[in-house]
């Protein structure tokens, strides 16, 4: 253990205003100095490197040191972001929101105090709430920037810091070169200033309910179909979406759901799920049990910050399962494309390049523009004349006039509106799914995720596939291999096009320590397409195991 590591840890401890992380780091330092090997290893892990802006700003475990989310790191980040705004804008402002995770409210107040004292007008939302409300607030208040303290669907021990920019960026998440410039400003603060000497001010603006009420009113206006009863179940996954969603339903006149009571109060411990992500196996078990009991038509689920939407339905045999993110995407995309045709609208549909090719087929059928972007709504939300955008990880942007980020609450309203429209026509969701298959072909998608305990393993996996790409996956030859680090995408994504028209994509997650493998296939029927997906998934699991 180097002397520098101890010096760095002691310097961090000296400026930490948080009794909790101070006690954690003091105990770790004492154990490391006594020769405890595991403590020395942990101390090194805490102080080697620094959380950096990625797909969604900062995310990491709540712990002491530059590799964790804590009040020192947040203070450095807030001052660095303030310095960036002051250097690039006149009279900058920032609006700040937060969810119910551990210390989210503390990190939000720290941000408001430091940015206000630095000369940036700071506005703090009045209570914990969904990420889409913060994204809306940036544009609604014409703020220069927005900060949302959230780790979305990450494990319970994590928190994060998502940054949006107003003005010409339109309230979208940060992209290059702004992300690098902000990171450099943060590093400069960390290198030259102690956070306990940074000026603070409690003269920031504490917002009232006007922002949330405006968001609810605009979101409720998305309902246009005739009202009818809908029997459905809702879970907020222990997050902050329930209150806003229920108020929006009431304003729209929509039927209220049966709540999964164990999961509809905000609780940053997430006691009923191992990972608070509706994509994870078992996450919707309580909702499915409730749906069976109620004889429900469907399940609506949000992730903890309510920017993602999950839907589950029962098949003809009564077996409940979540719809794949691409399935929800193509259904919403088809509904919005059909509505655009009826109203004479022209615009664009967009999805990330790891999402299904189906949306592009829908756009072509209805004469709409189509864009395939890099992963992340920081790219999708910037498409001009956008009508609808999505990514397969349950993110949907159905109302680009209101936000330029994924919005699970708005997406839920549009999905329920689709159900109402089908009811008015005497049809069911299954009929609409069949219509989509008939229109563009039967598409199916699958995903295999490999979670790692060390980030270095992700690099090893990607290098292995680059250096020796498979010539065959399952029974299908690889016709084309694309390494997007070598294309103008400049992204760590590998694509394999197969001779049966199917596609396999490999990429590291931008928010979690895992590698994702996506597969897409088209068949004459859903059964045919799903059979190919099953083959590809098994083959990729076998390749990864070796």
For the residues 176-191, what does the mean pLDDT come to? Answer: 93
pLDDT at 13: 95
**Is 21 a residue whose pLDDT tops 80?**
yes
Number of domain units in the chain: 4
Q: What is the 3-state secondary structure (H, E, C) of 229-271?
A: CCCEEEECCCCCCHHHHHHHHHHHCCCCCEECHHHCCCCCCCC
pLDDT at 114: 98
**Listed residue (79, 137, 85) closest to 111, CA to CA:** 79
**Is 84 a residue whose pLDDT tops 70?**
yes
Residue 93: half-sphere exposure toward Cβ, Cα within 13 Å? 16
Residue 209 lies in a domain: no
Residue 495 lies in a domain: yes
Q: Is the domain of 159 the same as that of 138?
A: yes
What DSSP line would sit under 498-538, residue for residue? ETTS-EEEEEE-SSSSEEEEEEEEEESSHHHHHHHHHHHHH
**Is 3 a residue whose pLDDT tops 70?**
no
Q: Is the domain of 25 the same as that of 85?
A: no
pLDDT at 198: 97
pLDDT at 483: 95
Residue 454 lies in a domain: yes
Phi/psi at 257 (nearest 5 deg)? -85, 170
Catalytic entry in 152, 356, 509, 519: 152
Residue 241 lies in a domain: yes
Predicted confidence band at 417 (pLDDT cuts at 50, 70, 90)?
very high
pLDDT tens track for 89-133: 999 999 999 999 999 999 999 999 999 999 999 999 999 999 999
In this structure, are residues 314 and 291 in contact, taking their beta carbons and an 8 Å threshold? Answer: yes
* E strand residue ranges, 386-441: 386-391, 395-397
Q: Is the domain of 17 the same as that of 144?
A: no
Q: Is the domain of 348 the same as that of 385?
A: yes
Q: Is the domain of 297 the same as that of 338?
A: yes
Task: Work out whether the CA dihedral 223, 408, 168, 210 comes out positive or negative.
Answer: positive
Structural domain boundaries, residue 152? 69-199
Q: Is the domain of 426 the same as that of 478?
A: no
What percent of the chain stands above pLDDT 70?
Answer: 98
Q: Is the domain of 421 the same as that of 473?
A: no
**Is 208 a residue whose pLDDT tops 70?**
yes
In this structure, are residues 391 and 328 in contact, taking their beta carbons and an 8 Å threshold? Answer: no
**Is 546 a residue whose pLDDT tops 70?**
no
Q: Is the domain of 403 the same as that of 506?
A: no
pLDDT at 42: 93
Q: Whole-number mean pLDDT of the chain?
A: 94
Environment class of residue 254 by beta-carbon count within 10 Å: exposed (0-12), middle (13-18) or buried (19+)? buried
Alpha carbons 156 and 61: distance in angstroms, whole number:
9
Q: Is the domain of 193 the same as that of 142?
A: yes
Q: In terms of DSSP bridges, do strands 121-124 and 205-206 run parallel, antiparallel, or are they unpaired?
A: parallel
Alpha carbons 306 and 237: distance in angstroms, whole number:
9
Alpha carbons 236 and 221: distance in angstroms, whole number:
22
What residues form DSSP beta bridges with 322?
Answer: 312
Residue 216 lies in a domain: no
pLDDT tens track for 487-503: 988 889 999 999 999 99
pLDDT at 405: 97
In this structure, are residues 396 and 408 in contact, taking their beta carbons and an 8 Å threshold? Answer: yes
Query: Using CA atoms in the order 359, 364, 365, 367, what is the torsion angle rounded to 10 degrees?
Result: 120
pLDDT tens track for 42-73: 999 999 989 886 556 799 999 999 999 999 99
What's the pTM value of the predicted model, to 2 decimals? 0.94
Q: Is the domain of 183 the same as that of 299?
A: no
Q: Is the domain of 268 the same as that of 288?
A: yes
Residue 221 lies in a domain: no
Q: Is 152 labeled as catalytic in the residue annotation?
A: yes
For the residues 338-352, what does the mean pLDDT come to? Answer: 96
**Is 453 a residue whose pLDDT tops 60?**
yes
**Listed residue (86, 154, 89) closest to 115, CA to CA:** 86
């Amino acid at each position: 253990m180097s002397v520098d590591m101890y010096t760095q840890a002691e310097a961090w401890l000296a400026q930490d205003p948080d009794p909790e992380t101070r006690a954690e780091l003091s105990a770790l330092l004492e154990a490391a100095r006594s020769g405890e090997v595991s403590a020395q290893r942990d101390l090194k892990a805490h102080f080697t490197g620094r959380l950096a802006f990625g797909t969604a700003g900062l995310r990491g475990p709540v712990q002491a040191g530059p590799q964790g989310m804590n009040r020192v790191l947040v203070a450095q980040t807030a001052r660095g972001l303030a310095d960036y705004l002051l250097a690039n804008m006149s009279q900058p402002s920032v609006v700040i929101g937060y969810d119910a995770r551990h210390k989210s409210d503390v990190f939000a107040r720290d941000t408001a105090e430091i940015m206000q004292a630095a000369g940036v007008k700071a506005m703090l939302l009045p209570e914990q709430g969904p990420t889409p409300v913060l994204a809306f607030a940036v544009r609604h208040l014409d703020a220069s920037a927005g900060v949302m303290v959230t780790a979305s669907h990450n494990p319970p021990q994590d928190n994060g810091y998502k940054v949006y920019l107003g003005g010409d960026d339109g309230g979208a998440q940060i992209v290059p070169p702004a992300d690098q410039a902000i990171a450099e400003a943060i590093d400069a603060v960390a290198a030259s200033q102690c956070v306990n000497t940074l000026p603070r001010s409690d003269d920031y603006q504490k917002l009232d309910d006007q922002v949330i009420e405006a968001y609810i009113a605009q979101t409720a206006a998305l309902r246009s179909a005739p009202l009818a009863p809908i029997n459905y179940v809702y879970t907020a996954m222990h997050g902050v979406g329930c209150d806003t969603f229920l108020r929006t339903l009431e304003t729209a006149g929509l039927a209220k759901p049966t709540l999964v009571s164990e999961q509809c109060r905000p609780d940053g411990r997430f006691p009923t799920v191992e990972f608070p992500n509706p994509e994870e196996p078992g996450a919707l078990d309580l909702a499915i049990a409730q749906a069976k009991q109620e004889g429900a038509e469907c399940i609506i689920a949000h992730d903890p910050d309510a920017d993602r939407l999950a839907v589950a339905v029962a098949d003809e045999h009564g077996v409940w399962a979540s719809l794949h993110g691409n399935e929800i995407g193509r259904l919403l995309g088809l509904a919005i494309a059909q509505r655009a045709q009826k109203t004479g609208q022209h615009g664009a549909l967009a999805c990330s390049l790891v999402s299904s090719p189906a949306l592009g087929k829908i756009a072509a059928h209805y004469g709409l523009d189509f864009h395939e972007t890099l992963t992340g709504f920081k790219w999708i939300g910037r498409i001009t004349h956008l009508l609808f955008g999505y990514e397969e990880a349950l993110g949907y942007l159905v109302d680009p006039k209101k936000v330029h980020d994924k919005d699970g609450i708005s997406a839920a309203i549009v999905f329920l509106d689709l159900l109402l429209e089908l009811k008015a026509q005497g049809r069911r969701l299954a009929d609409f799914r069949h219509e989509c298959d008939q229109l563009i072909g039967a598409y199916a998608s699958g995903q295999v995720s490999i979670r790692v305990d060390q980030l270095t393993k992700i690099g090893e996996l990607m290098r292995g596939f680059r250096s020796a790409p498979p010539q065959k996956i399952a029974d299908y030859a690889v016709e084309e291999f694309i390494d997007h680090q070598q294309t103008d995408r400049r992204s760590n994504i590998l694509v394999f096009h197969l001779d049966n028209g199917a596609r396999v994509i490999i990429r590291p997650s931008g928010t979690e320590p895992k590698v994702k493998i996506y597969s897409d296939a088209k068949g004459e029927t859903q059964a045919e397409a799903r059979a190919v997906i099953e083959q590809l998934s098994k083959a990729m699991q076998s390749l990864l195991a070796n």
